[in-house]
């Protein structure tokens, strides 16, 4: 089963000297759904280090992990696409952050000045 949450807001926290994640976690991207309910985070792990297992806790909160090389594309997606969702497969244990189907050749509106 795939659990899906639409991302309404996000918050980025980059950390230095953090002992969690075996000292290999360098940041978090926290997600709330459009109603403001916290749904989980993406943990950012140093490149070259094995990723921890993705997990959905009994309360439904998701912890999904990506390497630091994926941080810029992740933030680009969050800043420039809509809608964005976070997903977790409860059997296969994969996690993702992405968009829904979009039309070919879609052109994004220029950012407001």
pLDDT tens digits for range 24-35: 999 999 999 999
Does the pTM surpass 0.85? The reply is yes
pLDDT at 104: 72
Using CB atoms within 10 Å of the CB of residue 104, give its burial: 0 to 12 exposed, 13 to 18 middle, 19+ buried.
exposed
Round to whole Å and give the CA distance between 90 and 96: 12
Q: Distance of CA 16 to CAs 13, 28, 60, 91, Å?
A: 10, 12, 28, 33
pLDDT at 17 over 90: no
Q: Which tokens belong to 109?
A: 């509106």
Half-sphere exposure of 107 (CA within 13 A, CB side): 2
Domains of the chain, by residue range, sit at 2-99
pLDDT tens digits for range 39-90: 999 999 999 999 999 999 999 999 999 999 999 999 999 999 999 999 999 9
């Amino acid at each position: 089963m795939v659990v899906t949450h639409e991302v309404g807001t996000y918050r980025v926290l980059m950390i230095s000297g953090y002992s969690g994640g075996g000292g290999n976690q360098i940041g978090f991207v926290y997600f709330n759904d459009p109603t403001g309910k916290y749904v989980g985070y993406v943990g950012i792990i140093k490149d070259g280090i094995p990723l921890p297992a993705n997990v959905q806790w009994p309360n439904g909160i998701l912890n999904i992990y990506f390497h630091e090389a994926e941080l810029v594309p992740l933030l680009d997606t969050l800043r420039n696409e809509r809608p964005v969702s976070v997903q977790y497969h409860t059997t296969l244990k994969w996690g993702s952050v992405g968009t829904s189907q979009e039309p070919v050749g879609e052109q994004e509106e220029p950012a407001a000045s």
